[in-house]
Amino acid sequence: MNRLKNGIILIILISFLCLVAVMPVTCIFKTVTGISCPACGMTRSFLAIFHFDFLTAIYHNLLGIPLFIFLIYFSFMLLKDFFQNRFTFISNLLIFLEKNAFLIITLLLISFLFNNLK
């Protein structure tokens, strides 16, 4: 059962990364409010990372590079759990997110301000 869960999560993650690389995405929040959300520019940031243009990636979204690195790490850890037939990474990730919620919210606010002031 753990292998199935890890496989499904990994397929979803890889599908998302492939989708982002090929298909343009518009921000619903910005369309409705006219204000950029903390994730606005993330797709353009990821595309810039794929082209090794890191300064452009930072310009499009400050959190693009850290999130991209996290997604790569997340994929490898899921693969490791998949081959070891365990399901520990997700629970450890949830504990990490809970312990660092203040930092994550702060980073999102900084990204929100940066996206709307540039």
The predicted-structure confidence for 82-113, as pLDDT tens digits, reads as follows 888 887 888 888 898 899 999 999 998 998 88
Contacts of 56 (CB under 8 A, 6+ apart): 44, 45, 48
Structural domains in the chain (count): 1
What's the N-to-C CA distance of the chain in angstroms? 47
The predicted-structure confidence for 59-84, as pLDDT tens digits, reads as follows 999 899 999 998 888 888 888 888 88
Full residue range of the structural domain in which residue 41 is found: 2-117
* Predicted pLDDT of residue 116: 86
61, two tokens: 């979204």
The predicted-structure confidence for 10-44, as pLDDT tens digits, reads as follows 788 788 777 766 776 677 788 888 888 888 888 88
Are 40 and 62 a contacting pair, CB within 8 Å? no
Q: How confident is the model at residue 4 (pLDDT cuts 50, 70, 90)?
A: confident
Single-letter residue type at 113: L
* Predicted pLDDT of residue 35: 86
Distance in angstroms (rounded) separating the CA atoms of residues 109 and 112: 5
